[in-house]
Amino acid sequence: MDYKNVSNKTPVGVIGAGSFGTAVANLLAENNPVILYSRRADRANEINKTKTSSGQSLHPRIIATNDIEYICKECFLIFPSVPSQGFREMLREFAPFLRPDHILIHTTKGLDVNLKTSDNILDKTISFEPSEIMTMSQVILQETNVKRIGCMSGPNLAKELAQHQPAATVIASHFDEVISEARNAIKSPRFQVYASHDIFGVELAGVLKNTMAIAAGILNGMGYGQNTMAFMLSRGVREMIVIGTALGADKSAFLGLAGIGDLFATASSPLSRNYTVGYRLAQGESLDYIISTSSEVAEGLKTVNICNHISHQLKLDTPIIKTAYSILFEEMELSEALSYLMNYKSSKDVDYV
């Protein structure tokens, strides 16, 4: 399909036709023609035929393709939206066609880690140094010649975006031009956009909140109420900041939309993949079964493992992270886990500002 037949505007690209990539494509299509990349040709053809992707109806200004060269040639603004475990491989496929004038704004809330002892991030014997942890923007810089990079993060549950419910996000970048281009492309009466120059902090906030979303799902699945949930979430924000600042981030990003805002959304909604993992564990399902029956990746599983490793290496005070790790990877009983937290040596309420 030739975009000259659709619009005179330059199209915006989205890499990844999963639930969130599709939701982002629909948001962008309110202002621009959009090219949605799917790795498989048969799926791209099916998307174009049915005008649906990941259970969502597509805006008429969206077309799908599996042609990497085509999307890179037609679009200078591209939103990569793929899980962290496949992010580097995706970039290596795209790198020969990406130019220095491209702008990449990723939506991936995950981390890239150079493992020493295992290819499986869910293996509890993993080993790495904190300095080997990379955010997706750092991976982009490492694997491509693109310099104008940003990230999109916030309380943006794909299903609610697909229902056109009002929402907001943060576009973070070192470059004002990147923020401006992204805002102009995606802002609408139903989608507010805020700006940040702290891309590292915003990325880490969006990643670390997934650990607490799993813990929240466990509590809800056990039948506990709002007192328990508020206790866990407020202490969880502290642990996010403890880990984030240990890695070099500024704490302010954790207090905005990408941190507390996203945490409130994902820690209270069955639409959240990470919350759902915790809830299903509390209902008695095994982690292996949950993973095998889930259609999309819950980034929080990987992040809990990474954060527990960091906390151990750097001797950080993160009891919720450590307890979540023990539940997920060491088969700690839920009652034992809660007892551990309730009897944990108390500390100052707010020690991170």
Reply yes or no on whether the pLDDT at 345 is more than 80.
Answer: yes
Q: Tokens in use for 153?
A: 């993060």
CATH topology of domain 3-197: Rossmann fold (3.40.50)
pLDDT of residue 9: 81
Active-site entry in 209, 251, 315, 345? 209
Task: For 148-274, list the strands marked E by DSSP.
Answer: 148-153, 167-173, 191-196
Arithmetic mean of pLDDT, 325-337 = 91
Concerning whether 322 is annotated as a catalytic residue, the answer is no
What is the residue extent of each domain of the chain? 3-197, 201-342
Which CATH number is 201-342 given? 1.10.1040.10
The structure's pTM equals 0.91
Strand partners, 194: 170
Whether the predicted pLDDT of 118 surpasses 60 = no
Residue 59 has pLDDT above 90, yes or no: yes
How far is Cα 84 from Cα 159, in angstroms, rounded to an integer? 20
